[in-house]
């Protein structure tokens, strides 16, 4: 099963944000008991907490609903979806209902029941275990080079590690490594700096294109009933047995860092010997 990555979560944020800004939460109903990870409804809905929604944004793979003095962080996990319904409508797979003063209801629909809501005072608990955002201006080439040349780790495992870079997952890591010509089993500090620079640029290029296409729908990701279109632009992921778009060589599926991984053995070079 594929977990929504940065572009899919960003797509959800952009979809729900206009309808949430300025709203006030007056109730949250956990239909699935475990959906509220670290709080109960009374922790949020009481006289001491201002539940007016000031912003909706993304951090890593979390949707952040910003209140004046708290945040609600939502992780979709495998099958989570957020959408609005009429006041008294509750779909079959709903895990939670967030009710607004205006009468709107935000539904958290989650067939597999792995998605969670978290209540925090601020972003510190999330920031403490997540690395920089790959599309932020502060995530410079110099910072990227410093991170990846100073450690001796498998490059794919490192890119998937949320404490190193936030928001990346299997799809966009495979796409970025293919675009930069790096074999996913390469060792981070063995990769030439010219290739790492290309990887940095490839990550940003792939993510920006995926956000513009509203993410990748392969199995279960939909927003407002619409599927993401980036699946039509995938160059390597889920294309085992098909010809590489650069050289025509057959794409293979292997396992790297415990994950199904798609590679072109001709275009993607494997770097093992440390350079730095």
Q: Does 5 participate in catalysis according to the annotation?
A: yes
Q: Which of 58, 61, 195, 214 is catalytic?
A: 61
Q: Which of 5, 8, 23, 175 is catalytic?
A: 5
Q: Long-range contacts made by residues 31-35, C-beta under 8 angstroms, separation at least 24?
A: 31/90, 31/94, 31/95, 31/96, 31/97, 32/95, 32/96, 32/110, 32/113, 34/113, 34/116, 35/95, 35/96, 35/108, 35/110, 35/113, 35/115, 35/116, 35/117
Would you call 4 a catalytic residue per the annotation? yes
Identify whether 61 is a catalytic site residue.
Answer: yes
Residue keyed to tokens 């109903």: 29
Q: What share of the chain is helix, strand, coil (3-state, %, to 5)?
A: 30, 25, 45
CA distance linking residue 92 with residue 19, whole number of Å: 23
The edge-to-edge listing of strands for the beta sheet with 94-100 is 25-30, 94-100, 105-110, 80-85
Q: Which of 17, 151, 259, 270 is catalytic?
A: 259
Compute, in degrees rounded to 10, the torsion defined by CA atoms 46, 52, 54, 56. 80
Determine the Cα–Cα distance for residues 220 and 62; give it in Å rounded to an integer: 18
Q: Distance (Å, rounded) from C-alpha 82 to C-alpha 248?
A: 40
Catalytic residue among 4, 7, 134, 184: 4
Residues whose CB is less than 8 angstroms from the CB of residue 134 and which lie 6 or more positions away in sequence, other chains included? 6, 165, 166, 167, 168, 203, 204, 207
- Residues known to be catalytic: 4-5, 61, 259
């Amino acid at each position: 099963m594929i977990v929504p990555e940065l572009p899919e979560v960003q797509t959800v944020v952009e979809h729900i944000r206009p309808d949430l800004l300025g709203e006030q939460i007056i109730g949250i109903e956990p239909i699935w008991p475990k959906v509220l990870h670290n709080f109960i409804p009374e922790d949020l809905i009481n006289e001491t907490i201002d539940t007016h929604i000031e912003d909706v944004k993304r951090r890593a793979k979390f949707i952040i609903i910003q209140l004046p003095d708290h945040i609600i962080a939502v992780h979709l996990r495998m099958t989570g979806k957020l959408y609005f319904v009429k006041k008294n409508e509750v779909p079959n797979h709903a895990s939670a209902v967030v009710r607004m003063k205006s009468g709107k209801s935000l539904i958290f629909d989650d067939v597999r029941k792995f998605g969670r809501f978290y209540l925090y005072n601020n972003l510190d608990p999330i920031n403490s275990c997540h690395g920089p955002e790959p599309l932020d201006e502060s995530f410079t080439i110099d910072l990227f080079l410093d991170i990846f040349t100073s450690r001796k780790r498998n490059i794919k495992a490192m890119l998937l590690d949320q404490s190193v870079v936030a928001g990346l997952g299997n799809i966009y890591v495979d796409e970025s490594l293919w675009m930069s010509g790096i074999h996913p089993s390469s060792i981070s500090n063995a990769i030439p700096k010219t290739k790492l620079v290309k990887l940095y640029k490839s990550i940003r290029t792939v993510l920006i294109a995926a956000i513009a296409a509203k993410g990748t729908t392969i199995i279960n990701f939909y927003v407002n009933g619409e599927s993401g279109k980036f699946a039509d632009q995938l160059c390597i992921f889920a294309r085992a047995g098909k010809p590489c778009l650069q050289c025509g060589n057959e794409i293979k599926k292997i396992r790297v860092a415990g994950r199904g991984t798609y590679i072109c053995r001709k275009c993607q070079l494997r770097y093992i010997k440390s350079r730095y």
